[in-house]
Structure 1
């Protein structure tokens, strides 16, 4: 095998794994490759993928964001409460909901960059704060979403799911940020060597504010998409989704030590998780065993990342 081929497989291992998984499931279940099922896989992957795109920014800087699931729920609750209970026009309520996600991200970054808290602790605290605020605002009960926003969970022409379109758009935005903007280049530099990035003139603390604000904003979009699918904002929605988001980023080839990651890889990672769950459901595998399988896949992804870093040193 040539060195160029080895590099390609190293950078696109997740894509190869997705193709192999899809072929295996298509052989095991005749329903897997049906158009309706594949679109269903896309819908299942949408929320996790959007959350994971935001988490990609953070993980590239060698950080972690455990709060995205709770921030998603808080943003959706904010939108539903302001538009349904308070009577605010839904476009304004949507802007405020997105701003709530950004503010939560900025709060995380402030604790990390200026408070010198480890990202794990800062975002774990925000996980509890955001979830608690969602419960306080909603008084623990679901709140109906405005009809205009609920249509985000519909399909175009009864065929193409809008959540899939939103997922693709957010993925393109993430790719542009990472590949075509100064903040994106700064993320890679900070994740590669924070002190070297600082000495090269990068305002590290400022860029961390941008990074975590983006993560919070993407989480808000994911929360709105999830609530639109359910036709209501639920305070306990997206619980545990932060782990799926991180898993999708790692499976997609990003390194938890920072400096490595791509939006496309994250997209493939989210699809792998969705395809696995969908395929196991088609094969009537117990939900308990599904958790075991997903856990093994995540462990293997982290192990591969560890081995790859050791071999490069």
Structure 2
């Protein structure tokens, strides 16, 4: 090899590394920008304010639930039960209005308190019984899903519904509760949850300890971090945010539907994992989770506006996600 060729190879290698570094850090944002530009050119109405509002509304619940998944990831865990927890919260809060006549504050507080118990149950299975987190929360997924369906008698809960006893439900959903699921309130809640989680994980001692636990549990334990406490805390937060997502869903649709939160599980998990790559952090973070949710929301909305058949959407969705992940996770050689 000549000296000229060696010089060219030496110059090319750093350039390739810099390119991979750039894609690793910003590949997700580039993908979102390309999707927005592509759908904007393909559809005249995609960039209209009303459609942007629709996208924000559609990703709000996914983002809230996904931030909870991200919190569980910080301690090296993984919560698969968030979808069923959202379903149960959806059924609980509506039933407390319709069946028991509670006001908004009472119903929301009791629903979140019960969701806390789900997080504690997950922590018991994982921390005390030492069941692997994915298996434990998979079991919880089925348990909570069954509880939600049994509690709602296997059907919807709505105003003026006929109870199994034959009586008619006399409670009503408060008008103020319906505002939680509407723009701009639902978007503000999404942004507040994202900002609070991001600041707590990045700037507080507790957040750094959770990251340390997720990075090396044994080293974290030897350094004096109370690992059990933080693992329990992570699963409780994940369940609380899943419960909040279920409450927002109830506010948005004005009723409880069978397994209503189940459809949010995979999008929430995808958003949380996609978020790991934002700015090259390589670790769970709420801001990256929000970007992941935006990517999913833009993709879903754009495909609908282009009249892509519903049965083909998952194919395109999977391919775009694979491309986005390839841009961020490809390893330098």
1:57-206 to 2 correspondence within 5 Å? 57-144=71-158, 145-155=173-183, 161-206=184-229
Q: Deviations over 1:163-212 (max 9, x none)?
A: 21111111111112211223311221122111111111111111010001
CA contact (8 A) 2:97 2:107 kept: yes
Secondary structure, counterpart of 1:147 in structure 2:
coil
1:215 deviates by 0.5
Residue-pair matches, total = 303
1:305 deviates by 6.3
Judge which range, 136-145 or 114-123, deviates more: 136-145
CA contact (8 A) 1:253 1:305 kept: no
Q: Distance in 1 between matches of 2:205 and 2:321?
A: 31
- The 1:207–1:6 alpha-carbon spacing in structure 2 relative to 1, beyond 3 Å, is same
The RMSD of aligned alpha carbons is: 2.3
Q: Deviations over 1:100-128 (max 9, x none)?
A: 22221121122111110011111111111
Match of 2:307 among 264, 269, 284: 284
Q: With structure 2 as the length reference, what TM-score do the two structures score? A: 0.84
1:43 counterpart residue number: 57
- The 1:254–1:56 alpha-carbon spacing in structure 2 relative to 1, beyond 3 Å, is farther
Q: Distance in 1 between matches of 2:113 and 2:313?
A: 36
Based on CA coordinates, which of the two structures has the bigger radius of gyration?
Answer: 2
Q: With structure 1 as the length reference, what TM-score do the two structures score? A: 0.89
Secondary structure, counterpart of 1:40 in structure 2:
helix
1:218 counterpart residue number: 241
1:65 deviates by 1.0
Secondary structure, counterpart of 2:176 in structure 1:
helix
1:249 counterpart residue number: 272
Q: Distance in 2 between matches of 1:115 and 1:45?
A: 35
Gaps of 5+ in 1: 156-160
Q: Deviations over 1:207-228 (max 9, x none)?
A: 0100011101110111111111
Gaps of 5+ in 2: 1-14, 159-172
CA contact (8 A) 2:27 2:328 kept: no
Q: Deviations over 1:1-50 (max 9, x none)?
A: 59888655423321121111111111111111100001101011111111
1:306 deviates by 5.5
- The 1:268–1:296 alpha-carbon spacing in structure 2 relative to 1, beyond 3 Å, is same
Q: Distance in 1 between matches of 2:325 and 2:33?
A: 20
1:274 deviates by 0.4
